[in-house]
Chains A and B, each alone.
Chain A
Amino acid sequence: MSNREVLLSIKGLRKYFAVGSGRMLRAVNGIDLDIYRGETLSLVGESGSGKSTLGKAIMGVYPPTEGSIHYAGQPFLVKRKQDRLAFSRRAQMIFQDPYASLNPRKTVAAIIGEGMDIHGLFRGRERLERICELLELVGLRREMASRYPHEFSGGQRQRIGIARALSLGPEFIVSDEPISALDVSIQAQIVNLLKSLQRELSLTHLFIAHDLNMVRYISDRVAVMYLGSIVELADSGDIYAEPLHPYTQGLLSAVPVMNPDNIRPAGQEYLKGEIPSPASDIPGCAFCSRCSRAMPVCETARPQPVEAAPGHTVACHLYAN
Chain B
Amino acid sequence: MEDSRRTVLTVKDLQISIATGSGELQAVRGVSFHIQEGEALVLVGESGCGKSVTAQTLMRLNPDPPVHIKGGEIRLADIDIVQADERQMQQIRGSLVGMIFQDPMTSLNPTMTVGKQIGETLEIHHKLKRKSRWQKAVELLDAVRIPGAAGRAREYPGAFSGGMRQRALIAAAIACKPKLLIADEPTTALDVTIQAQIIDLLRSIQRENGMSILMITHDLAVAASIAQRIAVMYAGRIVETGTVQQIFNNPQHPYTWGLMNSVPRPDQDKNSELITIGGTPPKLLGPAPGCSFAPRCKYAMRICSSADPEEFEVASGHSCSCWLLHPQAPAAAREVKEAYAIV
Interface residues of A (CB under 8 A from B): 46-47, 153-156, 183-189, 191-192, 195-196, 210, 212-214, 216-218, 240, 250-251, 253-261, 263, 266-271, 274-275
Contact = CB atoms under 8 A, between A and B. Distances in A.
Contacts of B191: 46-47, 210, 275
Given A185-B277, A251-B192, A255-B192, A266 B222 contact: no
A184 B274 CA distance: 12
Closest CB pairs A-B (n = 4): A217-B264, A256-B221, A254-B196, A188-B262
Contacts of A155: 280
Q: Main SS of chain B's interface residues? A: helix
B232 to A, nearest CB: 12
Contacts of B281: 183
How many residues of B sit at the interface, in one of the four size bands? 35 or more
B260 interface: yes
Q: Which of A195, A210, A256 gathers the greatest number of chain B CB atoms within 10 Å?
A: A256
Interface string B169-201: 000000000000000000000011111110110
Given A184-B46, A210-B192, 4 more contacts: A240-B266, A254-B195, A258-B260, A258-B265
B160 to A, nearest CB: 10
B225 interface: yes
B203 interface: yes
A156 B279 CA distance: 10
5 contacts: A184-B46, A185-B46, A192-B274, A255-B192, A270-B196
A269 B193 CA distance: 9
B132 interface: no
Could you say which of A191, A195, A254 has the most chain B C-beta atoms within 10 Å of its C-beta? Answer: A254
Nearest to B204: A266
A270 B225 CA distance: 15
A131 to B, nearest CB: 23
Contacts of B194: 46, 274
A19 to B, nearest CB: 15
A254 B192 contact: yes
Nearest to A268: B200
Given A46-B193, A254-B195, A259 B248 contact: yes
A186 B270 CA distance: 18
B224 A263 contact: yes
B225 A184 contact: no
A184 B260 CA distance: 9
B259 interface: yes
B197 A183 contact: no
Contacts of A188: 261-263, 274-277
A258 to B, nearest CB: 5
B217 to A, nearest CB: 10
Interface in B33-58: 46-47
B116 to A, nearest CB: 23
A259 B224 contact: yes
